[in-house]
Amino acid sequence: ILGMFSELKFPVPWGHMAAKAWGPLEGHPVLCLHGWLDNANTFDKLIPLLPKDCYYVAMDFSGHGLSSHRPAGSAYHLLDYVSDVCRVAAALQWRRFTLMGHSMGGAVAGMFCFLYPEMVDKLILLESLGFLLAPEDTEAWLKSKRVVIDRLLSLEAKQQAPKARSPEAALQRLLEANRHLTAEGGAILLQRGATETPAGLVYNRDMRVHTQNRESLTVEQCVKLLQKIQDRVLIIVAQDGLLIPHKLDSRNHFVKALRKAFESTLKEHIQIAEVPGSHFVHLNEPKAVSGIISNFLMVQNARARL
């Protein structure tokens, strides 16, 4: 029964990586990657609706959910999250598997795919185009790198203890920070994203994840890389999410450029599905995406067996 899951824990040099798993161990392996500041519970509503013959593992990135925080003095780089995927895949002894990523998890999945193409049979991107684009302006690029360092040093100087909140306040804070989350979805994320203390709930996430350093690519690089894995990519975009070009402000010109490039250059080779819903459509309204994902998994798996 896919509603039932088991908890997994994998040792790493600075502690452990945590994950949860659904389905039969011998099933087709699917690794699920959550978004920035979220955790593995983001897939709780979706996975029970997907094909029963797959083995789904949803991991917590380092500094998120139940996974250990990275060592003192470290920032969080996108490639660190890619190495998290490498470590979990190695612990599971998976040589080839499907990757499904939401938001930042999609960017991690995309980068993993291009660094280790032989290990990925299919790529499913939820509210993600699989990339983080480089600012066209050199000064903006330099500023973004400086901000990462300054934020890290500022956090180290403050050494603030995590703030405790009542369950109601912790949920309210989460919902205020993300208008795409429903109260139910926020509560699901909090179950894994906070720890109960005598003073109240404390968020599990490492404050340093706010210092995330991105690995950026140009539109041309993105298109070229995606061409390498054509026919094996499903991109799901929500109509009220973060990737609809006509609803984006001018700062998100790169998303417009990327979608335009995908649809003109890769339209025949990559499946892009637009569904009703918000950035967290997979958690808020999982039935809006479960059929599309299930068909993609089943068709591709059948083709792989031929």
Output the pLDDT for position 79.
92
| CATH T-level topology, domain 5-134+216-298 | Rossmann fold (3.40.50)
β-bridge pairing 164-165 and 200-203 = antiparallel
Task: Please report the pLDDT score of residue 134 as a whole number.
Answer: 64
Which amino acids are annotated catalytic? 103
pLDDT tens readout for residues 124-172: 999 998 876 666 678 877 888 898 899 999 999 988 888 999 999 999 9
Pick from 134, 114, 136: nearest CA to 123: 114
270 or 50: which leads in pLDDT: 50
Average pLDDT score over the chain: 88
Residue 305 has pLDDT above 50, yes or no: no
CB 208 within 8 A of CB 69: yes
Q: Which residues pair with 184 in a beta bridge?
A: none
User: 272 φ, ψ to 5°?
Assistant: -115, 120
> What is the per-residue pLDDT across 198-207, written as a single tens digit (0 to 9) for each?
999 999 999 9
Residue-wise pLDDT tens digits, 196-239: 999 999 999 999 998 877 777 777 787 777 777 767 899 999 99
Can you give the pLDDT at residue 285?
97
Determine the pLDDT at residue 154. 92
Q: Are 49 and 116 in contact (CB under 8 A)?
A: no
Q: Tell me the average pLDDT across 173-185.
A: 95
> What is the pTM for the complete model shown?
0.91
Residue of 55, 24, 60, 7 lying closest to 194 (CA atoms): 60
Q: Is the pLDDT of residue 40 over 90?
A: yes
Residue type, 112: F
pLDDT of the residue at 132? 67
Mean pLDDT for the stretch of residues 110-125: 92
Q: What is the pLDDT of residue 303?
A: 46
Q: Where on the phi/psi map is residue 272: left (φ > 0), alpha (ψ -120 to 50), or beta?
A: beta
